[in-house]
Amino acid sequence: MASTLSETTISKPFGNGLQPHLINIQFQKKVRLQLVVLYLDFKLDESYTPSKISIRAGDGFHNLKEIKSVELVKPSGWVCVSMSGTDPRDTFVNTFMLQISILSNHLDRAYAFSIAGIVFRANHFSLLQRSFSLIPH
């Protein structure tokens, strides 16, 4: 699967409000998510690279539930976050909405970061270069 990943990233920074920053992705149909893959590069932009993120899923804003919380130490390249829970039988998350919350950056700047991501489900993946918003909370 790694050979099919696009090298394209979004190079412009997003937002300058207070943290956490939120990336909200809404799907028209319920999807099965297995992985969220983010491209982060500490060497490219050490000030604004996330150091802690939370990934949430649900039917909409009203019932988002945290799936994973991840600490990142100077990430460089594609960071894979599995959507499997503590139960090994839970390898997918069925959801209409995915939210990535940037809880802190490496230097705790109030500015967000450049990001590209891939959301995997079953044998299909979609490059997320559009249709997400970064909203200061």
The burial class, CB within 10 Å (0-12 / 13-18 / 19+), for 67 is buried
**Per-residue pLDDT reduced to its tens digit, 62-112:** 999 999 999 999 888 888 898 886 666 778 899 999 999 989 887 765 444
Residue 102 belongs to some domain of the structure = yes
Segment (H or E) for 42:
none
Tell me the CATH number at 83. Answer: 2.60.120.260
Domain range spanning residue 37? 16-131
Question: What would the two tokens of residue 26 be?
Answer: 């809404």
Rounded distance between C-alpha atoms, residue 137 and residue 128, angstroms: 21
Q: Given this model, what pLDDT does residue 25 score?
A: 92
Q: Given this model, what pLDDT does residue 71 score?
A: 93
Number of domains in the chain: 1
Rounded distance between C-alpha atoms, residue 46 and residue 76, angstroms: 10
Within 10 angstroms of residue 85's Cβ, the number of other Cβ atoms is: 13
